[in-house]
Amino acid sequence: MLNDEPPPLGEDLDRLAIAVIRGLAMDAPLAANSGHQGTAMALAPLAHVLYSRVMRFDPSDPHWSDRDRFILSAGHASILQYSLLMLSGLGLELDDLRSFRALGSRTPGHPEAGHTPGVEVTTGPLGQGFANAVGMALAERLQRERFGAEAVSHHTWVIAGDGCLMEGVSHEAASLAGHLGLDRLVCVFDDNRITIDGGTSLACDDDVSARFTGYGWRVVELGDIGEDLDALESALVAAREGDGRPTLLVLRTHIGFPSPDHTDSHAAHGLAFNAEDVARTKKVLGIPDEPFHVPQQLVDAYRAHTSARAAARRAVWESASSGIRATPEWSAMFEPTIDGFAAALPSWEPGARVATRKAIQVALDATSELLPGLVAGSADLTGNTGTKVAGLTVHSAADPSGRQVHYGVREHAMGSAMVGLALHGGALPVGGTFLVFLDYMRPPVRLAALSGARCVFVFSHDSVAVGEDGPTHQPVEHLATLRAVPGLHVIRPADANETTAAWADAVAHDGPTVLVLSRQDVEVVTDGTAVCTGAGVVVDASDPHLVIVGTGAEVALAVHAATALEDHGIRARVVSMPSWDRFRSQSPTIVHDIIPSGIPVLSVEAASTFGWAEWADASIGIDSFGVSAPGGVALEHLGISVEAVVEAARRLASVS
C-alpha cells in the first residue's frame, strides 16, 4: 500500500457493500426475468476486495493505459461486474442496473467491450476471457520491457469458473501462458463444482491444481475463505508478487450463498430465485426487501474511496512516466500514424510470380520499424504463412522483449490471445495459420468482430491448390464462413501488389482484418488499387459482352480467359474483387462503374459458390470437398481452369 493511500472502507461498509452486491445479483435477473445470480452472489466478497483494496484503476479515466485489467471470463455473472462498476464510479449508475439485459441498455446479458465502460473484453463463450487475458498479460509485458516499469506496470486479473476450464481453449491458453512465464497474470478459479446440468462430477474429475502445475503455473489452494475479506486480500496481494509464473488461485465457493433455498444448488446457476426466495435471502443479508436497494451513503463512500486510491497511484505514475510518455516511440505505440507507410511498401512488376503468403512477409519486413506495436506470430506455421518478421526476436520467458510469438499448435488460443493483445491497447497483433484451420479459431475471430478488436488474421494456403495434403487441408467453405461474419473485414488479394495494399489497409482499419493468401506462386496482374474500393477493373474492353469477377489467384486465370475469349469474338472485362465487404460499402455510382448493370457477370473462385449470387449471374467454384493431388491437378480436376471459364463465359454471353 502506498503511504498516502486511504485505509480500507471499514468493517461496516464492507459488510453493507457485499450485502448490496448480493442483493443486486438477485434483483437484476429477477426484474429482467433472465440472467444468472448464483455465481455473482458467491463471488461478491472477492469482487469487492479486488475493486476496493487490490486493483489499480482510475474511475475518472477508465482508459488509463496503466490500469489493471479485469476480465470476467465467467461472463454469465455479468451483474457482478456491473455492480462493482456502478459502486466504483466507473461509468454505470443504478438505472443502468435496473435496465439489465434490456434493449439498448449499457448492461447487456454478457460483458461487451466498447459498450460498457470498464469492460475490457467481450466475454460469455466460456474460456474465451481466460484466453484473452493471456494476450493482455503479454501486451503488458512487452510494453513494460520497452518503456520500463515507471510507465507500464499493471496486472491482469481473471475470474474463471468450472466451465471456462472445461473448454479446450483454456488448455491451450494456460499452456502458452505457463511456457512464456506471464507472471503478471492472476486467475481466480471459482471452484463451486456446479454446472447447469448439475455437479461437475457428472462430466469432469480433473485435478485442476495438478493440471495448472503441469502447465508451469504457481497454484495456490485458498480453500473455503470466500467470506474472509482480509484472507482474500492477503492472497490477492501475494499473487501480485510475481515469481516468474502466472498464478492460479483456487477458491472454494458456494453458488447462491447465502440463500436458504439455493446455496450449492445447480438451479442457482440460472434464473432460480423468485420473489420469495429473494426476500428470504435479503433477510439473511440484513438489507430491506426492496428492489435495487443501494444506500446513497454507500455509493458516496465507495466512490470517494476508489477515487482516493486512484489519486494516490495516478499521481506517482504521472510523475514517473511523464518523460517516457512524451517520446515519439510512446506516441507511435499508442497513437499510431502511417506517415511514410505507403512509400515503404514493396511493389512488383506485371508478370512476376509471387505467392501472396510470401508477399505479405516482404510487406511486414518493409514496414515493421514503423509499427512499434506490431506483434507477429503463428500457430507453428511462421515461415509457411509469411508471418516471420525480419528484425523481430522471439518472445520467451528469457527474452520478454521479443515481438515474434511462437503460439505453438494452438490456433484457438492464438486467436483469443490476439484479441486480448488488441483490446489491451498499444499492440497490433498479426497471427497466421492455414485457412482450413479457421475451424479451430472461429470463436475468437467472431469475437474480434463483435468487439472491434484491431487484429490481423493471416490465413494462407487458401484453396485446393494446397495439393497433396488432400481434402482435410483444402479449404472450400471457409471464405463464405468469413464473409458471413458481421464487422469482419475480409481481403483475398489477387497478387503480390494487392497483398501489400491489403496490408496497408489492415493497418489503417479500426477493426479486425482477415488476409486470405495463396500457397502457390501467382502472376502479378494488378496495381493493387482495387483494395481501397473492394473491387477494381484489371482488364477492360470496349462495350464488353460480360464481366468476369475473380478473387485471389483466380484473377490471373480470368485475365488469361479474357484473352482466349477474344478468339471467340467475346469482349470481357475482368474485375478483381478482393473484399466483398469493402465493395458493398461503396456508392451505387462506384459499384456501377466497376460492374455495370445490364451486363452478365461470371464469377470465378476456387471455393464454395455460396454467396456469389449477390454479384454474379453464374459462378465457377468448388461446391464439394477437394482431392489429394498436386495443386494444379486438383484445380483442373475440380473445374478451375481457363478452359472452364471460357466455356462458361461463352454460354453466359450468348455469343457464338
For residues 563 and 572, give the distance between their C-alpha atoms in angstroms, rounded to a whole number: 8
- What crossing angle do the helices spanning 78-88 and 296-325 adopt, rounded to 10°? 80
Q: Which amino acid is at 189?
A: F
Q: For residue 111, is the peptide bond before it cis, meaning its omega torsion is within 30 degrees of 0?
A: no
Which residue in the list 112, 411, 498, 523 is annotated as catalytic? Answer: 411
From the list 265, 260, 255, 303, the residue with the least C-alpha distance to 282 is 260
For residues 59 and 118, give the distance between their C-alpha atoms in angstroms, rounded to a whole number: 9
Q: How far apart are the first and last CA of the chain?
A: 86
For residues 428 and 448, give the distance between their C-alpha atoms in angstroms, rounded to a whole number: 13
Please say if 411 is a catalytic residue: yes
The counts of H helices and E strands in the chain are 26, 18
Q: Is 365 exposed, middle or buried (0-12, 13-18, 19+ CB in 10 A)?
A: middle
User: Residue 46 in contact with residue 232, Cβ under 8 Å?
Assistant: yes
CA distances from 197 to 169, 200, 251, 265 (A): 21, 8, 21, 10
Give me the half-sphere count of Cα atoms (radius 13 Å) on the Cβ side of residue 613: 2
* Length of the chain (residues): 656
Q: Is 276 exposed, middle or buried (0-12, 13-18, 19+ CB in 10 A)?
A: exposed
For residues 279 and 444, give the distance between their C-alpha atoms in angstroms, rounded to a whole number: 40
For residues 164 and 420, give the distance between their C-alpha atoms in angstroms, rounded to a whole number: 16
Q: For residue 288, is the peptide bond before it cis, meaning its omega torsion is within 30 degrees of 0?
A: no
User: Residue 584 in contact with residue 619, Cβ under 8 Å?
Assistant: no
Q: Find residue 537's DSSP bridge partners.
A: 575
Between vectors from CA 58 to CA 52 and to CA 64, what angle results, nearest 5°? 140
CA distances from 534 to 379, 522, 527, 600 (A): 29, 19, 13, 20
For 466: left if phi > 0, alpha if psi spans -120 to 50, otherwise beta; the answer is alpha
Question: So which residues are the catalytic ones?
Answer: 411
